[in-house]
Homo-oligomer: A and B are copies of this chain.
């Protein structure tokens, strides 16, 4: 008789708790899969776009996650036109796909000064790239990374819905929404 390695997948509560445990671990552990979600947006001209981000905050009580980015990046331009994003994480060891649908508030300037104060020096270089990220340059290394606090932005992502898939001997899939108080609903996988 084998023991089920993922007993939490059998209940909606168990799945929901597992998702938040993995998200919180991603913030604290740079080797956890949830450290690096794929972050999808819709460009101003209607193209889906996806890129890797670093998960910087995860709070189950408010159902909010946070990401830092350059204020001049394409994802900020996309979010200004359509403030909705999707985060995707594949937790291989748990056989768990986590998908979050979020609405995003873009914070910068004074509102994030206290967060900037805690960003370590090497990470600060990611903000304020000149020319701006994604702009054409004549040579591969024709850019500067001055570390400009004016370009530092925090994407505060309010989770509106989750779609969770567990790939076990029998697959399970569930949806959780803010609107239903995260009670959850099983879906055909």
Contacts and interface: CB of A to CB of B under 8 A. Distances in A.
A156 interface: no
A180 to B, nearest CB: 12
Given A140-B10, A185-B136, A88 B130 contact: no
B129 A141 contact: no
B133 A189 contact: yes
Contacts of A48: 40-42, 48-50, 84-86
A97 B189 contact: no
B186 A51 contact: no
A119 interface: no
Contacts of A141: 170, 172
Contacts of A185: 136
A143 B189 contact: yes
18 contacts: A36-B90, A38-B38, A40-B49, A40-B50, A42-B46, A47-B84, A50-B86, A132-B188, A133-B173, A133-B189, A136-B185, A137-B186, A138-B186, A139-B186, A141-B172, A142-B186, A143-B188, A143-B189
